[in-house]
Amino acid sequence: MIAFFLKNPKLVRGFSISIAIVELFLSATVFGLYRIDAAEQFQLIDRFESWIPFETFNVQYYLGIDGLSAPLVLLTGLLGLVAIFSSWNVTERVKEHYMWLLVLQSAVMGVFTSLDFFLFFLFWELELLPMFFLISIWGTGRKEYSAMKFLIFTLLGSAFMLVGILALYFSTSPHTFDMTLLPSAVIAANLIMPAATIFIFLFIGFAIKLPVWPFHTWLPDAHTDAPTAASVILAGVLLKMGGYGMLRVLASFFPGLIAEWAWMLALLGVINILYGAAATIRQTDLKRLIAFSSISHMGFVLLGISSVAGVAGHVSPLGLTGAALQMFTHGTITGMLFLVVGFIYEKCHTRYIPELGGLASKMPFLASALLLAGLASLGLPGTSGFVAELTIFLGTFPTWKLFTILGTLGIVLAAGYILWMIQRTLFGARLGQFNTIKDASLAEMFPVGALAVVILAVGIYPALITDVFSEGVQPIIDSIEQSLGSMPR
């Protein structure tokens, strides 16, 4: 079962590291315990039915995982540990820092494992507060502004989401928040608001999180000004909550609608990809560059999801599996990017690309790590990024030829910004002030190495993850094909 570690006031680094290791171990165990081809969709259930048991307001404490959420749980455990390591050098208010990191991890873990919609929403909101404090207290640059922007944007999205959640709750009879029952309940429900409205409200909530253009403006500021650990978790895991929500909620509960509007998802996805990539090329701050590249990569996720429109009533599982895989791989890749950049920033005291140069000779380990992560980001075969993007394209091409072609342009642009960034910062003439910088310490090498291993492992043998994902995605595909079949042609 998933253990939730809430805040711990008397925390010291070592204690939190051990907690995070236990957490990772647990999440890996959970992942390992997930049996493919089992009968029930959801496994490892933890259910307390009478949490708030009233006929008009029935909420259960209901957790479980399925194929879709199991790898994301693993990702959360992994990145949580990475984040704790990356905060090794934090000196100010150490215990609050780790406290917020652990609460954050619990909250995101809760989102991925919740099977009760109210509980899902509660965990969704729970991550706001730790993120706000992490950015505003330990961040850099315009941290207060970025933290506030992040919070208000996300809160706005969840406001809309709440309306959608409550609408669904009160439309079903008997009223239920149970996410395992909702897909069938929604079809039979007497909706108190038009289905399209509920869909849009929920979509807005997830779209702000993913983020989808034009709701993305909070991301560059929040990512850039956050401390390394927060950036790792924010880019690596929090953004995935948006994609997970779209798959778990929008695709499962509204199969007909999502197929109808898949074209819009494809269009927005392509805008994300191209606009994100174009903006990335112009960046001169390393972290901001990675932030914009995240927007671009999340566009791939959206493109993959848009494959649900299907071709002649048949939806290829590749699109959704690819989208889910992209979420996992982007988490590891961008996590590693932010990690390495964070260490570079600590040692060189600047993130401004024109001021950096020739770092490879002084910091070979970090330089190779950055190179690996960068190549994975642009989708070099052998890395997990390649597998994810290829799967998405294979899945979406039959449905949306033009959009997919435009999407592949994103790879070209990605190669552009990544290689250019690497050339400028790692190679080239070494600047004088960097003569005394040191390479990564042992504590810093460990998380970087861990992520590198995962990136390569999934790149070489993706079935480790894709088998689980494709099983998780199958029920969604089934219900979409069912609704496509029943739609008049």
Partner 1 sequence: MTLHDLYILSPELGMVGVAMALVLADLLLRSKRMLPVLTLIGLILPLGLSLILWSDINVSDSNGMQGLFGALIVDKFALFFKILVIGTTALVVLSSVEYVEKFDRLRSEYYALILFAASGMMLLASTVELITIYISLELTTLPLAALATFLRTSRSAESGMKLLLLSAVSSAVLLYGMVLIYGFTGTTTLVGISERISMDLLSGGFTMANSALLFGTVLLIAGFGFKIGSVPFQMWVPDVYEGAPTPITAYLSVASKAAGFAVIMRVFYESLSIQGFSTDWGNLFAVLSALSMTIGNLIAVRQSNIKRMLAYSTIAHAGYLMIGLAVLIAKSPGGDMVPGSSGVLFYLAGYAVTNLAVFSAVIAISHRIDSDLIEDFAGMGHRAPFLAAVLTLGVVSLIGIPPTVGFMAKIYIFGAAMSSGMQWLAIIGVLNSVLSAYYYLRVVKTMYLQIPESKKGLAPGLSIRVAAASSFAGVIIFGIYPTPLIELARAAADSLLY
Q: Which residue spans within 41-167 are E strands per DSSP?
A: 43-54, 57-65
CB of 76 to partner 1, least distance (A): 18
Rounded to 10 degrees, the C-alpha dihedral 277/279/285/288 comes to: -70
From residue 111 to residue 150, the character string flagging contacts with partner 1 as x (rule: CB under 8 A) and all else as - is: -------x---xx-xx-xx--xx--xx------x---x--
Which among 101, 416, 357, 372 has a CA at the least distance from the CA of 229?
A: 101
Residue 190 engages partner 1 in binding (rule: CB under 8 A): yes
Residue 193 engages partner 1 in binding (rule: CB under 8 A): yes
Alpha helices (H) along 172-285: 182-188, 195-209, 218-225, 228-233, 239-245, 252-253, 255-260, 262-281
Exposure on the CB side of residue 187, measured as CA atoms within 13 A = 13
Kindly state the tokens that stand for 76: 């959360």
Which among 458, 451, 191, 467 has a CA at the least distance from the CA of 333?
A: 451
CB of 463 to partner 1, least distance (A): 38
- Pick between residue 140 and residue 474 the one whose CB is nearest to partner 1: 140
- Of 78-97, binders to partner 1 (CB under 8 A) are none
Count the Cβ atoms, other than its own, within 10 Å of residue 9. 7
- Of 163-182, binders to partner 1 (CB under 8 A) are 163, 166-167, 169-170, 173
Kindly state the tokens that stand for 341: 């950049």
Distance, CA of 254 to CA of 184 (rounded, Å): 10
CB of 226 to partner 1, least distance (A): 15
- Pick between residue 65 and residue 166 the one whose CB is nearest to partner 1: 166
Q: Name the percent of the chain in helix, strand, coil, to the closest 5.
A: 70, 5, 20
Considering only residues 33, 36, 155, 463, which one is a binding residue for partner 1 as defined by CB under 8 A?
155
Distance, CA of 440 to CA of 344 (rounded, Å): 9
Considering only residues 192, 431, 453, 487, which one is a binding residue for partner 1 as defined by CB under 8 A?
192
Residue 151 engages partner 1 in binding (rule: CB under 8 A): yes
CB of 240 to partner 1, least distance (A): 20
CB of 152 to partner 1, least distance (A): 6
Residue 443 engages partner 1 in binding (rule: CB under 8 A): no
Residue 10 engages partner 1 in binding (rule: CB under 8 A): no
Considering only residues 45, 162, 187, 380, which one is a binding residue for partner 1 as defined by CB under 8 A?
162
Contact 377, 337 (CB under 8 A): yes
Contact residues: partner 1, CB under 8 A: 50-57, 118, 122-123, 125-126, 128-129, 132-133, 136-137, 144, 148, 151-152, 155-156, 159-160, 162-163, 166-167, 169-170, 173, 190, 192-193
